[in-house]
Amino acid sequence: MSYLALARKWRPRTFEDVVGQPHVVRALANALTSGRVHHAFLFAGTRGVGKTTVARILARCLNCEQGVTATPCGQCSACVAIEQGRFVDLIEVDAASRTGVDDTRELLDNVQYTPSGGRYKVYLIDEVHMLSKPAFNALLKTLEEPPPHVKFLFATTDPQKLPVTVLSRCLQFNLKRLPVGLIVERMGKICTAEGISAEPGALQRLGRAAAGSMRDGLSLLDQALAYGNETLRESDVAEMLGSIDRGKVLALIEGLAGGEGAELLGRIRGIAEMSPDYGSLLDEMATILQRLAVIQIAGEGSLDEEDDVPTLVTLAGRIEPELTQLFYQIAITSRHDLPLAPDPQLGFEMAMLRMLAFRVEPGQESEPAAAPVQARTVPPPRRSTATARPPGASPGEDWPAFVKGLALDGAARQLAMHTSLLRRTEAELRLGVDPSDAHFLTEQQKIRVVAAIHERLGDGLRVSIDVCQGRDDTVAVRVERQEEDALQRARDAIETDPHVRELTDLLGAELVPGSIKPPEAEKQPRGKAGARRGGHESKERSR
């Protein structure tokens, strides 16, 4: 007895069945109704969002025996043949396995002949970005001037790899990732139609695991039904996915919100007994933190349907928005660095400890329970807030000298060099960047600069870098001024040197301005200038 996978059994057969892509369905339906059907369509989007499904429905709309329509009958021989994959005038090609120019030429050999039984000969090329450059060139001529009976339907997960010459000849439709709520709703309807008992929590887990792909969601549903013996229980789905109960993840974030160090470590080690996938655990934490940020910025009304909204709202009120952003950044950075840790559990624990270390404000008394994880490797310097002196290694050190001492290179050093000191207190360091230098202020370089400052002054200091109009006292400007002053002093020294004056007065020599450099700019003995006499350039040492 053959079993048809749910993803195939419940594949949409009409535009009305397509979920989550109303912008695509509406455009295609209007084109079919008005008769303005382009000769080439490109459907782009991540896996499992309906690219080839929409293309096949479009092929059915074009070849239905009732006429070109947005609502094919589904009963005629053409509609049935297309659904069963045996329609001779629908030529489906997987470009991933037929990438060469010879394959493309063979495909197009019969393009000039009229359809055998349908109204249009439809070429559906999946993963079209896999074609080689010569194959695209072979396709381009036909794509420019196709016969009236030919339609091209392209599907791709990476449209950036298509040549511009091909893109410009296609109508492009970008299919969106499907929201979790829509996937869960669709799976619920399928379970009801199939007579399957499903717990709502199980469907929520499957919907999140689908990552925006309906096909992946239905494949996971098939797997879960096999795992649970035709019953969908949340505990079975969690075990199958290797995921941790979301309540335990929320408990970790609650521990971070309260700064409960010892209790947080206990919760982490309790989770460790379940042998979790720590990468997935960090992903789940990042997902929850993103939900908290949405609540903090836009309110709970902007949140997608969740089964634990009240808990998220409560948590969002306990954590400062700045800390939410920081926790999220630490979570995704630690996810990337997890393979570098000596052990995944140690890497995860270190991520939690790093979050908790940032939880305590400078000068705040540590609670006894949190003491083991709130120690600072480099304590923030204690300086009076009344002084206007820039921060540095010593009271007499100025901001340019401090910047030069930072462990930075490349673009991050350029950003630091173009900053000016706006405000310095015991708890805060505010820096400014002129709008003309704003291109240096990327998120990646900002993180590097802040990390270098924390390395010198301690993690407890809040550092902000903003674009400020009219700042002309940046490190780079001050260095430039110093170089100009040094150059002017070098010019004055050369021009007043008696030996140089003797050469210019008696022999008619001329100073070459471009050859004058300040002593610190030359790796040569001090005071060299160029002299030119009678059209021949010479140099005289200045004494």
pLDDT(365) > 70: no
Average pLDDT over residues 65-90: 91
What percentage of the chain exceeds 70 in pLDDT?
Answer: 83
Average pLDDT over residues 66-79: 91
Question: pLDDT-derived band of residue 304, with 50, 70 and 90 as boundaries?
Answer: low
Q: Mind listing the pLDDT tens digit for each residue in 94-136? A: 888 888 888 888 888 888 888 888 899 999 999 999 999 999 9
Q: Within the chain, which residue ranges are assigned CATH 3.40.50.300?
A: 6-174
Q: Which range has the worst mean pLDDT, 173-187, 409-423, 467-481?
A: 467-481
Q: Which range has the worst mean pLDDT, 187-191, 327-331, 393-397?
A: 393-397
Q: In what order do the strands lie in the sheet with 462-467?
A: 419-424, 428-433, 462-467
Quick one: DSSP state of residue 381?
P
Question: pLDDT-derived band of residue 395, with 50, 70 and 90 as boundaries?
Answer: very low
pLDDT(188) > 90: yes
Tokens of 5: 């996978």
Task: Give the SS3 label for residue 114.
Answer: coil
Output the pLDDT for position 309. 76
pLDDT(396) > 60: no
Query: How many CB atoms are located within 10 Å of the residue 55 CB?
Result: 24
pLDDT(392) > 60: no
pLDDT(228) > 80: yes
pLDDT(216) > 70: yes
Q: Which range has the worst mean pLDDT, 162-171, 297-306, 326-335, 387-396?
A: 387-396
Q: Which is nearest to 446 in space by CA: 468, 467, 424, 423? A: 467
pLDDT(382) > 80: no
Phi and psi at residue 301, in whole multiples of 5°?
-65, -20
Looking up tokens 């505990």 gives 235
482-516: b or e for each residue (b if 16 or more CB lie within 10 Å)? eeeeeeeebbebbeebeebeebbeeeebebeeeeb
Looking up tokens 């074009």 gives 62
Answer for the pair 290, 325: CB distance below 8 angstroms, yes or no: no
Task: Give the SS3 label for residue 258.
Answer: helix
Output the pLDDT for position 387. 36
**Nearest-5° angle of CA 465, CA 466, CA 472?**
100
Q: Which residue has the higher pLDDT, 335 or 483?
A: 335
pTM greater than the 0.85 cutoff: no
Question: pLDDT-derived band of residue 437, with 50, 70 and 90 as boundaries?
Answer: confident
Question: pLDDT-derived band of residue 251, with 50, 70 and 90 as boundaries?
Answer: confident
Output the pLDDT for position 71. 92
Q: Mind listing the pLDDT tens digit for each residue in 235-248? A: 888 888 876 667 78
Answer for the pair 151, 121: CB distance below 8 angstroms, yes or no: yes
pLDDT(63) > 70: yes
Q: What's the mean pLDDT when you consider all of the chain?
A: 81
Output the pLDDT for position 429. 87
Which string of DSSP letters, residue by residue, matches 220-238? HHHHHHHHTTSEE-HHHHH
pLDDT(367) > 70: no
Which CATH code of 3.20.20.10, 1.20.1330.10, 3.30.40.230, 3.40.50.300 fits the domain covering 6-174? 3.40.50.300
Q: Which residue has the higher pLDDT, 512 or 523?
A: 512
Average pLDDT over residues 456-476: 77
What percentage of the chain exceeds 90 in pLDDT?
Answer: 29
pLDDT(371) > 50: no
pLDDT(355) > 80: yes
In this structure, the dihedral spanned by the alpha carbons of residues 306, 308, 310 and 316, taken in order and rounded to 10 degrees, is -80
Query: How many CB atoms are located within 10 Å of the residue 283 CB?
Result: 18
pLDDT(91) > 50: yes
Output the pLDDT for position 472. 61
Q: Which is nearest to 477 in space by CA: 518, 409, 418? A: 418
pLDDT(373) > 60: no
Output the pLDDT for position 305. 58
Answer for the pair 262, 369: CB distance below 8 angstroms, yes or no: yes
Output the pLDDT for position 519. 64
Q: Mind listing the pLDDT tens digit for each residue in 278-300? A: 888 898 899 889 989 998 888 87
Q: Which fold has domain 246-373?
A: Zinc Finger, Delta Prime; domain 3 (1.20.272)
Q: Which range has the worst mean pLDDT, 39-43, 118-122, 313-317, 457-461?
A: 457-461
Output the pLDDT for position 470. 55
Average pLDDT over residues 264-284: 84
Contacts of residue 266, Cβ cutoff 8 Å, sequence gap at least 6: none
Quick one: DSSP state of residue 95?
T
180-241 has which CATH code?
A: 1.10.8.60
Average pLDDT over residues 503-508: 70
pLDDT(385) > 60: no
pLDDT(331) > 50: yes
Average pLDDT over residues 340-368: 74
pLDDT(431) > 70: yes
Contacts of residue 340, Cβ cutoff 8 Å, sequence gap at least 6: 347
CA torsion sign for 511, 513, 519, 524 is negative
Task: Give the SS3 label for residue 173.
Answer: strand
Question: pLDDT-derived band of residue 540, with 50, 70 and 90 as boundaries?
Answer: very low
Q: Which residue has the higher pLDDT, 440 or 367?
A: 440
Q: Within the chain, which residue ranges are assigned CATH 1.10.8.60?
A: 180-241
Q: Which range has the worst mean pLDDT, 24-33, 58-67, 210-219, 408-417?
A: 408-417
399-473 has which CATH code?
A: 3.30.300.150
Q: Are strands 121-126 and 90-94 parallel, antiparallel or unpaired?
A: parallel
Q: Which range has the worst mean pLDDT, 146-155, 199-208, 364-373?
A: 364-373
pLDDT(21) > 90: yes
Question: pLDDT-derived band of residue 378, with 50, 70 and 90 as boundaries?
Answer: very low
Q: End-to-end distance of the chain based on CA atoms, in angstroms? A: 103
Q: Which is nearest to 468 in space by CA: 439, 438, 421, 432? A: 432
Question: pLDDT-derived band of residue 32, with 50, 70 and 90 as boundaries?
Answer: very high
Q: Which is nearest to 405 in space by CA: 391, 395, 425? A: 391
